[in-house]
Amino acid sequence: MGRLFGTDGVRGVANADLTAEMALGLSVAAVGVLAAPSGDGPARRPVAVVGRDPRASGEFLEAAVVAGLASAGVDVLRVGVLPTPAVAYLTGALGADFGVMLSASHNPMPDNGVKFFARGGHKLADELEDRIEAAYREHAAGEPWDRPVGAGVGRVTDYGEGFDMYVSHLVSALPNRLDGLRVVIDAAHGAASRVAPEAFARAGAEVVTIGAEPDGLNINDGYGTMHLDALRGAVVAEGADLGIAVDGDADRCLAADREGREIDGDQILAVLGLAMREAGRLAHDTVVATVMSNLGFTLAMEREGVRLKHTAVGDRYVLEEMKRGGYSLGGEQSGHVIVLDHATTGDGTLTGLLLAARVAATRRPLSELAAVMERLPQVLINVPDVDKSRVSESRELAEAVAEAERQLGETGRVLLRPSGTEPLVRVMVEAADAAQAGTVAAGLADAVKSALG
């Protein structure tokens, strides 16, 4: 039986892979692991913050999670539809024992997920996830859990104040206001559909909003970080200074300049890294990024005297390295950007606000700021319907990778990895020549299908 937890919580098709029973069981299991007495004060009933994105399935999954927590003696603060980083922030700000977010982030609508945050709003270490999973399996096998009765059961409170608390937190993080900027916000019909426009407006920007009419079924559908054409077109049509797109749970951010050109996570990291260094806020003059970062980003940071630390793919690994080394900025090309001075996890709205603040402060167009780095051609192909668990053990695939690396020489690189959140293998090829990158990537994708199909 495979591990339930992936790189970002437990995900699957809602009501098929991820059922109400599983959501309830996971929440009960989490209580014993995450709500243990801290020993730093008088005993009290545990408190959990619970939020969700607007997927239709989030309604019944939220009900299951809340039922499980309350049945295990936990008081629940139900904050409703808010971004994942909002739940992380509120978990810390309200002194809760843990937080629960129901979302499948950038995945399509039929999927959903359960993600936990520990005290302070921090992502869980593998060891804690393993303990929750073990408890869940014990309960599923018939091992009873502690079921309080009478006054011992948890109480459930709708905590509407969380929206304003979070928006105020976002605006307070800005080094300067956004007055004079016209910004298009694409909220992916997701969890930030109210938050992001409100935060930018409070910060002084003139806001044009698209993709902010969630109906439970349209999350990530044609809008957001996975579908930038809508944002790019709107920025040009509206004569905006820039555009900001988040994904379904708003932990990612990508952007568009005034000409409608995409600004990816590497470019955002470059702009924010130099801004933070200028302000004396880039700890150790270092940015943490993953092995997927464009070689152009690496070369630009070296040229600017900014050190880089590379990690495995996944924002959790970026965050682990940031905490280990005391670094203040890190992220991924996909748009997960972590600014530890203000957030414990990737926060797309915060990232967008800080990017816009840099444009406002310098009075330079985003295209000029992003030109600090030149993106080398990079081709990414997702190969579905293969056994991703055999990537590291396939000799046929290893030989194909070696041949691809021989073709590229020192002017490029190859990266093959199984997705941590979806049933597919990602093939990435980077080269000085776009045509060569495409040809090599296509060949490797074929090799993956042959070896793992």
Q: Give the catalytic positions in this structure.
A: 105
Q: Which residues are annotated as a binding site for Mg(2+)?
A: 105, 247, 249, 251
Q: Are 185 and 201 in contact (CB under 8 A)?
A: no
Q: Give the residue carrying structure tokens 């054409």.
A: 229
The angle at the Cα of 25, spanning 19 to 28, to the nearest 5 degrees, equals 145
User: Longest C-alpha distance within the chain, in Å?
Assistant: 70
